[in-house]
Amino acid sequence: MSNFEKLAPMFAGSANSLKSFEAWTMGIKEIDAVLRKVLPSIESIHIGGCNHPSKDFILGELSNAPRLQFINLNGDTDTGGTTRKAFAEALNREDSFPSLRKLSYPGEKGTYKTGRGRNVRVHEYENVGAKELETAAKKKGVWAELVSRDLEYKVEGAQRRAGFAAMGRRGYW
């Protein structure tokens, strides 16, 4: 059982009332269990981090959400482009996404920097499936928006932990 399956009961009564869902997640599991509870009423989904809906969930359930108008896939990890490819495949179907108006997704390529001082390193990444997703969205009449993922600076783990420790010493929590 994933952590999302444990969290899903928290949204059990939200099937007819929740309009927007936003999550920034860390991990490698799929977020299907949480989204499944809110599909009847959800209008906007913003997903960031490493977790995304599975291909089967996108093709079978998410693409049939009656009120879903906005999807933002602003995540760091999409292994092999499976999420983008699944969205492109779903958008190519005639009866999918009846209310969808806008789809935001990261660009095809980008860079980010890590390190400090003389140790700054530039890393490149590639998002497979971005062009297929854009083509499918335009064919469906959905506004496809490119989300900038070029980070000027990405804090490394040790620096982030040091910052949290300093905040704790200063009484932020």
Between CA 106 and CA 74 the distance in angstroms is 6
pLDDT number for residue 150: 46
Stated length of the chain: 173
Candidates 41, 137, 35; CA nearest to 96 is 137
What does the block give as tokens for 73?
């896939």
User: From first to last of its 173 residues, what are the pLDDT tens digits of the chain?
Assistant: 455 555 556 565 556 667 887 777 665 567 787 788 778 888 998 887 666 788 898 999 999 999 999 998 776 555 667 788 888 999 999 999 999 999 988 777 777 677 777 877 887 777 777 888 889 999 999 998 877 654 444 555 556 666 666 667 766 55
> DSSP 3-state helix, strand, coil percentages of the chain (rounded to 5)?
40, 25, 40
What is the CA 131 to chain-centroid distance, rounded? Answer: 17
CA nearest to 146, candidates 105, 118, 109: 105
Domain ranges of the chain: 3-169
What global pTM score does this model have?
0.70
pLDDT attached to residue 26: 62
CB distance 134 to 144 below 8 Å: yes
pLDDT at 63: 93
Task: Kindly state the greatest CA–CA separation across the chain.
Answer: 57
Helix (H) or strand (E) holding 74: strand 70-75
